[in-house]
Amino acid sequence: MTRFILCSFALVLLYPTAIDLYLVGLPQIAKDLGASESQLHIAFSVYLAGMATTMVFAGKLSDVIGRRPIAITGAIIFTLASFMGSTVENSQSFLIVRFIQGIGAGSCYVVAFAILRDKLDDKRRAKVLSMVNGITCIMPVIAPVIGHLIMLSLPWPSLFITMAAMGGMVCLMSVFVLKETNTTRQSSRANVTTVETTDPSTAHPFTQSTTQSTTQPTTATESFYQRFFLSRLIISAIAVTAILTFVNVSPMLIMNIMGFSRGEYSIAMALTALVSMLTSFAMPLALSYIKQGTLMLVSQILFVAAAAILGLTQLSGDSQIISLFGFSLICAGFSIGFGVVMSQALSPYSYRAGVASSMLGVAQICSSALYIWLLGLLGISALNMLILILLMGGVISAVLIVFIPSPLPSISNEEIISTP
């Protein structure tokens, strides 16, 4: 079991690595490529677009041919694209590389959640997914610091070489450590399992056995058009949009408005991400004593509280500590709710876990990219962009949590009966 959890952690890590590691080098990248920083900020949405594009297919393919081939392919694509990123000479090539990086990272991201759905029951999955979020937060903690240290003595292409090295390590893990978890393919599943039994009360020497039909969950019965799944898809999409909006606008808010230097920005982001990591690691214990619905509501309350703090302080010079506390609430709120909502969303699906993971990933990435692009196009300031998603998203998610609660726990993976 440990190997699957470790491999899932590694596969997920590629996604935040490609976001956080290069941010500190963005001013130098823009200068060398002859582009403005605002133009290169499009690379964030381009990267997410690459992820969303591949997620549409990766989940379905992993249900058909298995999780491992998709993980290996995604890691190889990410590694090659990262090497290409160290050699680009203009902004157009840079954007193309970022799109290809997204394709690789998206494949690995989808497979990671499908693997955990294959191997863990509902209760354990919620705890592990919370820890996955904590592991993911290690990158925002150390990536800005590593990026800053690299930029002190090496040019910015070294940032992409570092990404390539990490992609290579994930590829090696997928080849030599990861085992296939999707042991029963969709193509081999029947819609109905028929079991012949003899009823002892009606048995007779000359009578034939009675036949009972037992219907098992299949691709035909695991529908995505159900209120519970759609509500959790919306909640998870809002949460990811909030955290990615924060990551995307953080250089402008912390360095431009609050006046922090690049080194101070790295430290600030590391501290806020540390809050997220510690909260995530505390979640398995919290889930042992507190209901999942309660924790999800707490998550939304923290989002709304963060919006209120940032709206009141407006990042003014005499309230920087309070503003940083507001940023910490965003990270804590995301860490409390994300693992739980992802676990609940995947719970109804045993045969279509790959597709379910794809739908969740596509919704999260597309909503994030669309929100950031649209509000930027409308000229909404970075601060108001962040406040709006925290306030509006927190209220919408809280309503969905209250009025569409989690159904009774589903059968654990170990109890699922598969047909031969």
Closest CA to 389 of 241, 285, 210, 252: 241
Q: Are 109 and 83 in contact (CB under 8 A)?
A: no
Q: Are 381 and 218 in contact (CB under 8 A)?
A: no
Residue that has been written with the tokens 């949009």 in this structure: 241
SS3 state of residue 87: coil
CA distance 347 to 329: 28
Q: What is the 3-state secondary structure (H, E, C) of 356-380?
A: HHHHHHHHHHHHHHHHHHHHHHCCC
- Take residue 52 and report the two structure tokens written for it: 């969303």
**H or E, element range at 102:** helix 91-119
CB neighbours (10 Å) of residue 117?
28
The C-alpha angle with vertex 359 and arms to 245 and 106, in degrees rounded to 5, equals 65
SS3 state of residue 73: helix
Model pLDDT, residue 69: 94
CA distance 91 to 38: 12
Residue that has been written with the tokens 């000229």 in this structure: 379
Model pLDDT, residue 307: 95
CB neighbours (10 Å) of residue 419?
13
382-419 pLDDT tens trace: 899 999 999 999 999 999 999 998 875 544 444 333 33
Contacts of 235 (CB under 8 A, 6+ apart): 296, 337, 341, 397, 400, 401
**H or E, element range at 196:** strand 193-196
CA distance 88 to 91: 8
CB neighbours (10 Å) of residue 411?
13
CB neighbours (10 Å) of residue 366?
18
Model pLDDT, residue 206: 39
SS3 state of residue 408: coil
b/e 271-303 (16+ beta carbons within 10 angstroms → b)? ebbbbbbebbbbbbebbeeeebeebbbbbbebb
User: Could you tell me the mean pLDDT of each successive run of 10 residues in the chain, 420 residues long?
Assistant: 85 87 82 76 82 86 91 96 93 92 93 87 81 74 80 91 95 93 58 41 41 48 84 94 88 85 81 87 90 94 95 80 92 92 87 85 86 86 93 96 76 38
Model pLDDT, residue 140: 65
SS3 state of residue 204: coil
- Take residue 369 and report the two structure tokens written for it: 């990219």
Residue that has been written with the tokens 């991201």 in this structure: 109
Report how far apart the first and last C-alpha atoms of the chain are (Å, whole number).
24
Closest CA to 108 of 73, 137, 143, 81: 73
Residue that has been written with the tokens 């039909």 in this structure: 213
101-136 pLDDT tens trace: 999 999 998 899 889 888 887 778 888 888 877 777
Looking at domain 2-182+221-406, its CATH superfamily turns out to be MFS general substrate transporter like domains (1.20.1250.20)
CA distance 46 to 42: 6
- Take residue 230 and report the two structure tokens written for it: 């759609």
Model pLDDT, residue 290: 92
* DSSP character at residue 86: T
The domain spans of the chain are: 2-182+221-406
**H or E, element range at 195:** strand 193-196
Contacts of 192 (CB under 8 A, 6+ apart): 213, 214, 215, 216
Largest CA distance in the chain: 92
CA distance 413 to 339: 18
